[in-house]
Amino acid sequence: MGLNMNIGFILTKNLSEQGFETFIELSKLYIKTNPVSIYLIGNGVYCARKKSDSNIGRIFKESNVYAYKHDLEARGIHQNQLNKRIILFEDYEKMVTDVMENFHQVISI
């Protein structure tokens, strides 16, 4: 039986940016055997919307997903437009603390 690792993703890409498909493929691999948390920052917050990609919806169901409130506001995305699984955070320090203290591996895309 393999070691269970806490995996963190920092997603800065939207659905159409290069690298997004890499996130999808890697997250699918890790979710099968590890607890996964995803931080949406920068353009990554576009993925927080309800009507996002179906692959995202499946990944979000099996992950803890956080979105940076200030990046959502800067892009005109309102709370009523968000996937119900999204947890808002207002301070980068929360993300940094989580990354440093709780994850065995962090992938930034």
Distance CA 54, CA 107 (A): 21
Distance CA 10, CA 6 (A): 13
Domain boundaries, the chain: 41-109
pTM, two decimal places: 0.90
Q: Which residues on adjacent β-strands are paired with residue 49?
A: 82
Element of type H or E holding 67 = strand 64-68
- State the pLDDT at residue 3: 66
Distance CA 97, CA 95 (A): 5
Higher pLDDT, 92 or 73: 73
**Which band of pLDDT confidence, cut at 50, 70 and 90, is reported for residue 67?**
very high
**Which band of pLDDT confidence, cut at 50, 70 and 90, is reported for residue 15?**
confident
**Which band of pLDDT confidence, cut at 50, 70 and 90, is reported for residue 58?**
confident
The architecture that CATH gives domain 41-109 is 3-Layer(aba) Sandwich (3.40)
DSSP type of residue 42? G
Percent of all residues in the chain with a pLDDT value above 70, rounded to a whole number? 95
